[in-house]
Copies of this chain bind each other. A is one copy, B any other.
Amino acid sequence: MLNLVLFQKTMSKKEDIQHDCEHCHARYKSIFCQIAPDEVKIINENKWCQSLEKGQQLFAEGAYPHGIFCVNTGKIKIHQMGDEGREQIVRFAKEGDIVGYRAMLAGEKYSSSATAIDTTSICFIPKNVILSLIEKDSNFSIQLIKLLSSNLKHAEESILHLAQKPVRERMAESLLFLKEMYGLEPDGITMSVSLSREEIATLVGTATETAIRLLSEFKSKKLVSFEGRKIQIIDIPGLLKVANIHD
C-alpha cells in the first residue's frame, strides 16, 4: 500500500480533481459500464485521477505498467518509435476509452507510448483491481475481449491499407477516420481534433512534406479547407471517393 501512496503522490498535482466513478459520464461509455455497484465502489476507492496538458506523456514505450488508464475527457494518441526515430501513430483514445491495457494484461512492458493531444483528464486504476475484476466478473472479461478484438480488427485493416493503398487514399481515409473518432465542432464542419502536419503524416504513414502537399491538393480540390491546424471537412462524398471507399 505504501508503494501505491507514493505512486499516487508522484502522479497527482494540486489541480487534479478526484472524480466519483459512480456517476462518471465516461464510465457509462467504457468497459466498466456494466459492472456491479460494489465493484464501482472498489474502483472508486483505488483509482487516481490526473490531468494532462496537450503534449504531456502518459506512459512511455519500455516502461512497466502498474494499471490501466481510463480517459475521462480529452484525446490521447498511442504511438511507437520507428528505427529512424520517426513516430508512428497506431491508435487514438477518447472519453470512455481505456489506454495502456494491452501491455498490462499481457504482463509485458509497454510496446507503445501514450501522449495527450489535447487537455486530458484520466483515471488510473491499479493492476490488482483490474485482475480481480476479471476473476470475479466474466461479463467484464467479455468487454475486455471485445475491446481487444475491435482494436485487432482495426489494426489488421491498417495493415491491409498500408500495404495496398496509395498515400492519397490513405490521407483521405485518415481525415474521415479522425472526423469519426473525435467528431466535429458545433459549426458542423471543423474537426475537433487538432494535429500538426507531422502527426498527420505519422498517422497516414508518409513523409511530412507529402502529407502537406496532399492536404494542399485536397484544399485546392475543395475537399477540405484549413487555417493552420483547424481543418474543415467540406466534401465528404468527395473524400470517400478519393479514399476509394464505396458501400
Q: Which residues of A contact B (CB under 8 A)?
A: 80, 82-84, 86, 88, 90-91, 102-103, 105-108, 111-112, 134-136, 138, 141-142, 144-146, 148-153, 155-160, 162-165, 202, 205-206, 244
| Contact in complex: B165, A162 (CB < 8 Å) | no
Copies of this chain in the oligomer: 2
B160 contacts A82, C-beta separation under 8 Å: yes
Closest residue to A106 on the B side, CB-wise? B149
A139 to chain B, nearest CB (A): 8
Among A90, A163, A244, the one with the most B-chain Cβ atoms within 10 Å of its Cβ is A163
A145 to B151, CA, bound (A): 12
| Contact in complex: A152, B150 (CB < 8 Å) | no
Are B156 and A111 in contact, with the CB atoms below 8 A? yes
- A93 nearest CB across to chain B (Å): 14
Could you list 27 examples of A-B contacts with CB < 8 Å?
A82-B163, A82-B164, A82-B165, A88-B159, A90-B159, A90-B160, A91-B156, A102-B152, A103-B149, A105-B142, A105-B146, A106-B153, A108-B149, A112-B156, A134-B141, A134-B142, A135-B138, A138-B138, A141-B141, A144-B145, A145-B148, A148-B149, A152-B155, A155-B156, A155-B158, A162-B205, A164-B205
Are A158 and B160 touching (Cβ within 8 A)? no
Pair A164/B88 contact, Cβ less than 8 Å: yes
9 closest A-B pairs by CB: A163-B205, A155-B155, A141-B141, A148-B148, A106-B149, A82-B164, A162-B162, A135-B138, A90-B156
- Residues in B with CB closer than 8 Å to A149 are 102-103, 105-106, 108, 148
